[in-house]
Amino acid sequence: MTTQSPAQSRFSRLLLTGAAGGLGKVLRESLRPYADVIRLSDIAPMAPATGPHEEVVPCDLSDKAAVHALVDGVDAILHFGGVSVERPFEEILGANISGTFHIYEAARLHGVKRVVFASSNHVIGFYKQDQTLDALSPRRPDGYYGLSKSYGEDMASFYFDRYGIETVSIRIGSSFPEPQNRRMMSTWLSFDDLTQLIEKSLFSADVGHTVVYGVSDNAQVWWDNRYAAHLGFNAKDSSEVFRDKVEAQPPVAADDPAAIYQGGAFVAAGPFE
């Protein structure tokens, strides 16, 4: 596969899981140029299709047969569905661990060759905020959620090595309209930069299994994307424009995990029983 611009090689049909979620609603609009049809899927209610460029297909990721039917006929998968915060293991197990397995098995059976996986900074959440990481830094998951994303990255690696299915695993920092706290001044990823990164992940040649940190061009970042340079991702936004607003918040105590760890409060979520 050679690198092509979206205009040269739109996909016929892209699958977006997690379409009812915070990022899914944004991507439903911003990914429109990249495919003739976007198949939107979630377990939660979604707005009806707004035209022939959309298909709305409810699906529980933990249901193997349903996921296999969901993937039939798509050219590439944007896997954003699942539990997106720290929760008891049993909840993570069905949606994230079984769910990601179902997505890759369905990709294999239906000949899908490219996946973009919404991984998370919580695969490395137990590193301190004064450490700089790259894609080769050993993972240090900060909970069951982070473990499930770490497993998803390993699954992506395995399905490339064994079956040639290529994946870009995006370790998303904090993708919201604005950074919500001091930690997110470093981890923020704007929606425009996320969209650009997904475009690069879909259309770059020979990605194999690439791990990239999904972060904007913030003033202080903890992540070095040297091993994802082939994607050509060039973040345009910066959290700096929100600094005054964020620093008007009450200060965080020096011993608060939010001020110490890259994963912030996630490192202290749980136990649940």
Distances (CA, A) of 29 to 50, 143, 221, 256: 11, 32, 28, 37
Q: Which one is catalytic: 104, 145, 159, 213? A: 145
Which sign, positive or negative, has the C-alpha torsion 231, 139, 78, 236?
negative
Indicate which single residue of 15, 18, 74, 169 sits in contact with ligand NAI (rule: CB under 6 A). Answer: 18
CA–centroid distance for 212 within its chain: 10
**114-120, strands of its sheet edge to edge:** 54-56, 35-41, 11-17, 76-79, 114-120, 166-172, 209-214
Contact status, residue 146 vs residue 96, Cβ threshold 8 Å:
no
Contact status, residue 124 vs residue 135, Cβ threshold 8 Å:
no
Q: Using CA atoms, how far apart are residues 106 and 213, in angstroms rounded to an integer? A: 26
- 150 lines the binding site for ligand NAI (CB under 6 A): no
Q: Which does 187 bind (CB under 5 to 8 A by kind): ligand 15L, ligand NAI, none?
A: ligand 15L
Residue 118, beta-bridge partner list: 170
- 17 lines the binding site for ligand 15L (CB under 6 A): no
Indicate which single residue of 15, 35, 56, 61 sits in contact with ligand NAI (rule: CB under 6 A). Answer: 61
Q: Using CA atoms, how far apart are residues 145 and 87, in angstroms rounded to an integer? A: 7
Residue least distant from ligand NAI (Cβ): 21
- 156 lines the binding site for ligand NAI (CB under 6 A): no
- 120 lines the binding site for ligand 15L (CB under 6 A): yes
Q: Please, what is the minimum distance in Å from the beta carbon of residue 91 to ligand NAI?
A: 8
Active site residue 151: no
Among residues 11 and 266, whose Cβ is nearest to ligand 15L? Answer: 266
Among residues 176 and 227, whose Cβ is nearest to ligand 15L? Answer: 176
B/e letters for 119-151, b = 16+ CB within 10 Å, e = fewer, are bbbbbbbbbebeeebebeeebbbbbbbbbbbbb
Among residues 187 and 216, whose Cβ is nearest to ligand 15L? Answer: 187
Among residues 150 and 204, whose Cβ is nearest to ligand 15L? Answer: 150
The conformational region for residue 177 under phi > 0 = left, psi -120 to 50 = alpha, else beta, is alpha
Q: Which does 71 bind (CB under 5 to 8 A by kind): ligand 15L, ligand NAI, none?
A: none
Stretch touching ligand 15L by CB under 6 A, among 38-46, 69-77, 115-123, 194-202: 115-123
> What DSSP state is assigned to residue 217?
-
Structure tokens at 177: 């309209």
Among residues 104 and 266, whose Cβ is nearest to ligand 15L? Answer: 266
- 186 lines the binding site for ligand 15L (CB under 6 A): no
Instruction: Tell me which residues touch ligand NAI (CB under 6 A).
Output: 18, 20-24, 42-44, 60-62, 80-84, 94-95, 99, 118, 120, 172, 174-175
User: Any idea which residues carry the catalytic annotation?
Assistant: 145
Instruction: Tell me which residues touch ligand 15L (CB under 6 A).
Output: 84-85, 120-122, 174, 184, 187
